[in-house]
Amino acid sequence: MEPCITLLDAVWQDIADLCEGLTDEQWNLATDCPGWTVKDNVSHMIGTERMLAGDQAPSADVDGRDYIRNDIGKANEQWIESYRAVTGKEVLDEFRKVTAARLDTLRALTPEDWDRDGFTPEGPGPYRQFMEIRVFDCWFHDQDIREALGKAGFLEGDVADMSIGRIGPKGMGYVVGKKAGASPESTVVFDVAGTPPITVAIEVPPEGRARVMPNAPASPTARLELDRRTYARLAGGRWSGDEARAKGSVKVDGDESLANRVADNMSFTI
């Protein structure tokens, strides 16, 4: 079986378990995902899986919402709008139904289907890559729900390992080289505590884009020490650098100005 099927099953089950028995007040709690409540996060995941099954987003006027930054964000919001008048319990029932159907569809795919190139949010790639992004996205929204409910967790294990493992290669070169403006020949190391610990090293070459290094230098230009929760919250744009520093959950070393610019600009997701 394709690993993504097991991972999606696990993260969707965790979300369903988290949301079982929530009160109306809990369903309507604001989350760190801008503009969205707990229920909105679940509605968004329903909408994406329905889209992948061939459904179209219902038409809805969502203009003027400052957290919508592109066409994907607009389509996401249209799906969410279609569930805003529905109760949380009904949304959860729909989530279970839609994700069960998607798992059946994924289990029926052939190896050739998984290998076939097509659209992904990261550009052309095999369907397997798209489903890895779905694990990543759903895990982030699982974390949004957990933060709103005060139930931090699900930060280790196969789903978290894959999701957190995508952050460095997919986003931190852009963050260090472009957003934080690290100078050529700078190196930045992220030491992420957890089981297992994660180390991501980024170098800015004299020419070209910042890139992941195969091995971390012993004395980088700047170093950030943080846990998995903080690393993901910053990379997903859920926390600001100021929030992480106020919580005491990020420690910087070396060129502190550069390290803090990196922490302030770690968001790279849509």
Tens of pLDDT, residues 77-111: 888 888 999 999 999 999 999 999 999 999 999 99
Claim to verify: residue 42 and residue 140 sit in the same structural domain = yes
User: In this structure, is residue 124 part of a structural domain?
Assistant: yes
CATH number at residue 100: 1.20.120.450
Say what the pLDDT of residue 130 is. Answer: 97
Closest CA to 210 of 233, 188, 234: 188
Instruction: Select from 124, 154, 184 the last residue of a domain.
Output: 154
In this predicted structure, the answer to whether residue 74 has a pLDDT above a threshold of 80 is no
Residues 127, 254 within the same domain? no
Do 178 and 66 lie in one domain? The reply is no
pLDDT over 90 at 64, yes or no: no
| pLDDT at 65 > cutoff 90 | no
| Cβ-defined contacts of 202-209 (< 8 Å, 24+) | 202/168, 202/172, 202/173, 202/176, 202/177, 204/176, 204/177, 209/173, 209/174, 209/177
Is residue 69 predicted with pLDDT exceeding 80?
no
Residues 204 and 76 in one domain: no
Helix (H, G, I), strand (E, B) or coil at 213: coil
Residues belonging to the chain: 270
Asked whether residue 123 is assigned to any structural domain, the reply reads yes
Is residue 140 domain-resident? yes
Q: How many helices (H) and strands (E) does the chain have?
A: 12, 7
Q: Is the pLDDT of residue 58 over 90?
A: no
Q: What is the CATH number of the domain that holds 212?
A: 3.30.1050.10
- Indicate if the pLDDT at residue 76 is higher than 90: no
Question: Are 24 and 99 found together in one domain?
Answer: yes
Judge whether 150 lies within some domain.
Answer: yes
Query: Residues 28, 78: one domain?
Result: yes
Alpha helices in 84-227 (DSSP H): 88-107, 111-115, 127-149, 158-167, 173-174
Tell me, yes or no, whether 14 and 133 share the same domain.
Answer: yes
Note whether 175 and 129 are same-domain residues. no
Is residue 159 in some structural domain?
no
User: Does residue 56 form part of some domain?
Assistant: yes
Of 103, 122, 154, the position where a domain reaches its end is 154
- The string of DSSP letters for 50-99 reads HHHTTPPPPP---TT-TT--SHHHHHHHHHHHHHTTS-HHHHHHHHHHHH
Q: What percent of the chain has pLDDT over 70?
A: 100
Residue with more model confidence, 172 or 270: 172
Q: What dihedral do alpha carbons 127, 130, 136, 137 form, nearest 10°?
A: -130
> Which residue from 15, 53, 38, 48 is spatially nearest to 84, judged by alpha carbons?
38
Q: Which residues pair with 203 in a beta bridge?
A: 187, 211
pLDDT at residue 16, rounded to an integer = 98
Q: How many domains does the chain have?
A: 2
Residue 212 lies in a domain: yes
Q: Enter the pTM of the model.
A: 0.94
Is 105 in a helix, a strand, or coil?
helix
Please confirm whether the linkage preceding 3 is cis (ω < 30° from 0): no
Q: Which candidate, 106, 83, 100, places its Cα nearest to that of 36?
A: 83
Question: Considering 121, 154, 187, which residue would you say is the last residue of a domain?
Answer: 154
pLDDT in tens, 142-174: 999 999 999 999 999 999 999 999 999 999 999
Q: Which domain holds residue 238?
A: 170-264
CB neighbours of 233 closer than 8 A, spacing ≥ 6? 32, 143, 147, 239, 244
pLDDT > 80? residue 9? yes
In a domain, 54, yes or no: yes
